[in-house]
Structures are given as C-alpha cells and as structure tokens.
C-alpha cells in the first residue's frame, strides 16, 4: 500500500515551454502533497506544500508564478514549470501523506521526474 | 528551527561488514524520525521510522535505528551489508504536526566486494 506515482518519469523540453508533472496517490487519499527538488548529489529541497482545494504554500525563494501547483483532488497534484529554462533542469519528487483516522503519518514519495530543459 | 545533520557524506564498506550511518537532529519539540533510501535515478523509499513507543525500530531488510533522545540521534545500523545496499540514505525529521519534513544532506553508502 501507500503508492505514489509520477508522470512523466523523464521529460526533455525546449527553453521557454511549459511542462506539467503529475503526482498521484494510487491507493490512498491525501489532503496534503509536497513537491521537492533535488539537485545532483544534493539533498531534497522542499518547494511547496500542496493542499487539496486551496492554494499551495511555497517555501521562501520559490517563485509561485513559475512553479504552478494545483491540487485538484484528494489523489492528484500537478506541478507546472512555466517558461522553463536550463537552470530549471532537475529531479522533481513529490510526496503524499495518507490521512488515516484524521492523523497524518509518514510521507510516501513518488519515483521522481527528471526534467531537462535545452 | 528544526535541522537534521548527517555528518558523513560517504561511507565505504566491504560486503558483509557492519555499518553505521549517523544522524543527529535538533528540535525543541517532539519529533518523528525517518530513514529513506534512494537508489540511482529513483525516488525515495521509506526504510524505517520512529513515531513513538520502542526506541529501536527495524526494517524488513536488516537495518535498524535507535532513537536516542538524550543524544538527539537516530543512527542507522546494519550488522552485515550487501552489495545491493549501495545507495543514498537520507535521515529526516518532522514535528508532531507533520507540516514539513526536514532532510539531512544524505550519506552515500558504497559497498564493495
């Protein structure tokens, strides 16, 4: 149980285009999902907290207009990288908290999406 | 602010040797602790977690970690490693509100024959 999927797993795009990444909780519901960015040989950096039915909460230094987050349902959150540039190339990972009896527990992570902007 | 420290960026060991990956946290409130493993080009997989109860927690593949409140540590151990254990290991912490998961910088475990 507690499986999180991401789509696509890899994407290559041209500079200036927008890319959408989907994060789905397959066998549980999640009112909260998280988006992380991981640079090569570095730890995960929390970008934003995605809340179902409300606006995402962005971490300091993360441009909300560039990284659009939509949490449309209890099983789906999307991250759209708008007007992507080569410096946006990275490994993007989402996670989700199962809500069990009203108590949030462990975050379960998706397999990640490798974005390469040319 | 809560922080997690993994002092060792890389730990090389020989197969079947014991290993300890160190993790220390700083928090003024109750804390939940996690170890995640990341294989190349993959996302993070939960290895084990401490939420409450017994301070010694175990994973299904032979790893264990002990929550030590007095030393604010949550070191990961395995008595005998395999080649397949080669991966990046991340320690993480969150408070009882589960609002944010704070990660350490990771430790790369390199197991050689």
Cross-chain residue pair B42–A111, CB shorter than 8 Å? yes
User: What pLDDT is stored for residue B29 in this prediction?
Assistant: 65
Residue A47's pLDDT band, with cuts at 50, 70 and 90, is: very high
% of chain A residues with pLDDT over 90? 63
Classify residue B43 as exposed, middle or buried by CB count within 10 Å of its CB (0-12, 13-18, 19+): buried
pLDDT average, residue stretch A46-56: 88
Give the Cβ contact number of residue B72 at 10 Å.
16
Q: Is the dihedral of CA B98, B6, B21, A41 positive or negative?
A: positive
From residue A34, how far is each of A48, B82, B83 by CA, in Å?
A: 6, 32, 32
The overall average pLDDT reported for chain A is 89
Residue A81 above 60 pLDDT?
A: yes
Residue A54's pLDDT band, with cuts at 50, 70 and 90, is: confident
On whether any CB of chain A is under 8 Å from the CB of B46, the answer is: yes
Looking at beta carbons, which residues of chain B come within 8 Å of A100? none
Nearest chain A Cα distance for residue B28, angstroms: 20
Is residue B101 within 8 Å of B3, Cβ to Cβ? no
Residue A32 above 90 pLDDT?
A: no
3 state SS of A87: helix
Nearest chain A Cα distance for residue B18, angstroms: 24
User: What pLDDT is stored for residue A87 in this prediction?
Assistant: 94
Q: Which residues of chain B have pLDDT under 70?
A: 1, 28-29, 96-99
Least confident piece of the model among A14-28, A103-117, B52-66: A103-117
Least confident piece of the model among A43-47, A53-57, A63-67, A103-107: A103-107
Residue A102's pLDDT band, with cuts at 50, 70 and 90, is: very low
When comparing pLDDT for B32 and A12, which is higher?
A12
Best A106, A110, A112, A116 member to test B by mutation, with max B CBs in 10 Å, is A106
Cross-chain residue pair A106–B104, CB shorter than 8 Å? no
Residue A101 above 50 pLDDT?
A: no
Best A30, A46, A107, A112 member to test B by mutation, with max B CBs in 10 Å, is A107
CA distance A25 to A59: 23
CA distance A35 to A12: 19
Nearest chain B Cα distance for residue A117, angstroms: 17
Of B41, B49, B105, the CB nearest to A43: B105
User: What pLDDT is stored for residue A15 in this prediction?
Assistant: 96
Cross-chain residue pair A6–B43, CB shorter than 8 Å? yes
- The CA-to-CA distance between both ends of chain B, in Å, stands at 41
Cross-chain residue pair B103–A44, CB shorter than 8 Å? yes
């Amino acid at each position: 149980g507690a499986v999180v999927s991401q789509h696509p797993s890899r994407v290559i795009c041209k500079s200036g285009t927008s890319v959408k990444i989907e994060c789905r909780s397959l066998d549980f519901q999640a009112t909260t999902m998280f988006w992380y960015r991981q640079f090569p040989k570095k730890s995960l950096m929390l970008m934003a907290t995605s809340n179902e039915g409300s606006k995402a909460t962005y971490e300091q230094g993360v441009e909300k207009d560039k990284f659009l987050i939509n949490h449309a349902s209890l099983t789906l959150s999307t991250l759209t990288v708008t007007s992507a540039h080569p410096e946006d190339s990275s490994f993007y990972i989402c996670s989700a908290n199962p809500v069990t009896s009203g108590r949030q527990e462990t975050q379960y992570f998706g397999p990640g999406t490798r974005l390469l902007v040319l | 602010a809560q922080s997690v420290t993994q002092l060792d960026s890389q730990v090389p060991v020989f197969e079947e040797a014991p290993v300890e990956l160190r993790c220390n946290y700083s928090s003024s409130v109750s804390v939940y602790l996690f170890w995640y493993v990341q294989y190349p080009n993959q996302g993070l997989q939960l290895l084990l977690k401490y939420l409450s109860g017994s301070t010694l927690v175990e994973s299904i593949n032979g790893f264990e970690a002990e929550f030590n409140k007095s030393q604010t540590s949550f070191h990961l151990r395995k008595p005998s490693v395999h080649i397949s254990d080669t991966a990046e290991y991340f320690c993480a912490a969150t408070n009882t509100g589960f609002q944010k998961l704070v990660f350490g910088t990771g430790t790369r475990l390199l197991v050689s024959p």
